[in-house]
Amino acid sequence: MTGNLGTAFRWLASRPGYMLLAADDEKLAAAPPQRFARAWVELVLLSLGWGILSVGLWGVALKFVGDYYSGIPFMPVAAVVAPMTLWLYRRSLLALAESLVGADPAGKAVGGAVIVVVIVLSLLGLEKHGRDWPFYLPPAWQWVCPMAPYRVLIVAPVWGAWAMLITCQFCRSRDHTEPAVAAFARGCGPVAAAACLAPLLAATLLYFHFLGVWRLIVPAAAIVAAVAGGLLLCRASGGLRRRALLAVNMLTQIVFFLAYLANR
In a domain, 223, yes or no: yes
Can you give the pLDDT of all 264 residues of the chain as single tens digits? Answer: 667 778 888 999 999 999 999 999 999 999 999 999 999 999 999 999 999 999 999 999 988 876 655 667 889 999 999 999 999 999 999 999 999 998 899 999 999 999 999 999 999 998 766 556 656 667 677 777 888 889 999 999 999 999 999 999 999 898 899 999 999 999 999 999 999 999 999 999 999 988 989 999 999 999 999 999 999 999 999 899 999 999 999 999 999 999 999 998
Backbone φ and ψ for 126, nearest 5 degrees, come out as: -65, 145
In a domain, 93, yes or no: yes
Cβ within 8 Å of residue 154, ≥6 positions away:
48, 51, 52, 54, 55, 146, 207
DSSP 3-state of 89: coil
- Residue 105 CA to residue 12 CA, distance in Å, equals 30
In a domain, 172, yes or no: yes
What domain count does the chain have? Answer: 1
In a domain, 65, yes or no: yes
In a domain, 178, yes or no: yes
In a domain, 40, yes or no: yes
User: What are the angstrom distances between the C-alpha of 251 and each of 107, 126, 162, 182, 226?
Assistant: 18, 18, 12, 21, 8
Q: Rounded to a whole number, what is the distance in angstroms from the first to the last CA of the chain?
A: 42
pLDDT on residue 70: 63
Cβ within 8 Å of residue 110, ≥6 positions away:
101
CB neighbours of residue 141 within 10 Å: 9
In a domain, 230, yes or no: yes
Using alpha carbons, select from 263, 260, 246 the residue that is nearest to residue 115.
246
Residue 257 domain boundaries: 33-263
In a domain, 48, yes or no: yes
Using the 8-state DSSP alphabet, how is residue 67 labeled? S
